[in-house]
Copies of this chain bind each other. A is one copy, B any other.
Amino acid sequence: MDEFSFIDSIKQKTYKQSSIIKGIGDDAAVFRQQTQDIVIAKDMFVEGVHFTNNTMEPYHIGYRALAANLSDLAAMGANPAFYLVAIAIPKKWSTVDLDSIYQGMKDLAKDYQMDLIGGDTVSGEELTISITVIGYVDKAKAWYRETSEDNDIVFVTGTLGDSQAGFHIINNPGQYDQGEDFLIKRHRMPTPRIHFARELEPISRVSLNDISDGIASEANEIAEASNVCLHLYDSDIPISEHLRQFPLSLQTKWKYYGGEDFELMGTVPEKDWHLIEKAAEKTKTKLSKIGFVSSESKFQGQVILHYNNDKIERLVKNGYNHLRR
């Protein structure tokens, strides 16, 4: 297949978003948005770094790459609208594989009425995907990390550590007999928390982050950006029943530093806690209160972890950090 036939094959016949003016088929795409703010995020995934042939089918590679980007939109409170895909493909990948990658993205995009409006296809030695997502949010209603305040409640959606547990199971087949499908699905086909985040719009203030690098890293980002201290209760960090079959050291590692669960964590004023609960109930999202915010200068920009035995310790960023050299 040449590039032109391939572009024809991925080109949508119709577009779902009413704001689209020109989709795939010219030098660039064109859209119009006069009433809402525009939110844009861009990620990159590389074979051998973010996934391998052994841990992911082509379909999952596409699905997960888009899910990770949508998670960024969720963390801003935005409604997804468009995506663009640039992909470098090694010759060893077949056209069928390539179609599967795009099918994985399309199936997830469909859940949110997103349109594929552009991108690029080139050859390369290792499969590399870069996705750009665009979403809309009501004017001045994007949620930022720097808005956390004294006495806020800290919350998180879903359960943490599952994605890394799924990854571990894929790499150690036949050793674990519980929740295999659940955990592997959490790794390969994570659910970006778009629906939950969209229900937060009535709230006056939410500080929000998605958990791509582990909650230790994300909590620190909020603490630093807001110049506050996030206090977390170790025993309140939600984990799935299936995670409990692993040694405690792995549970701890994965729930704090594992990342890639694409859950949302954030802080809200106490008075708005019931609205967060309402959003969780309406979207059938598991919600946990895991701590509180303080503005004491001693711990500014830090995350303090509280254990049941009253011991406390500082929780530092230690998630994924790809640029280590």
Contacts and interface: CB of A to CB of B under 8 A. Distances in A.
Given A28-B75, A49-B122, A122-B46, A38 B41 contact: no
A87 interface: yes
Contact of A121 (B118, B121, B322): B322
Interface in A72-123: 72-73, 75-76, 78, 82, 84-89, 91, 95, 117-123
Contacts of A35: 34
A26 interface: yes
Number of identical protomers: 2
B88 A44 contact: yes
Nearest to A78: B28
A32 interface: yes
Interface stretch (A138-146, A159-167, A283-291): A138-146
B325 A1 contact: yes
A21 B325 contact: no
Interface residues of A, number: 78
B126 A126 contact: yes
Interface in A206-232: 208-210, 225
A28 B124 contact: no
Interface string A20-44: 0110011111111111011111111
22 contacts: A3-B321, A25-B145, A25-B225, A27-B41, A27-B75, A27-B210, A28-B39, A28-B76, A28-B135, A31-B37, A31-B40, A42-B118, A43-B86, A44-B88, A44-B130, A46-B122, A46-B123, A48-B125, A88-B128, A122-B323, A125-B125, A125-B126
8 shortest A-B CB distances, which residue pairs? Answer: A130-B130, A28-B41, A44-B86, A27-B75, A3-B323, A46-B124, A27-B72, A86-B130
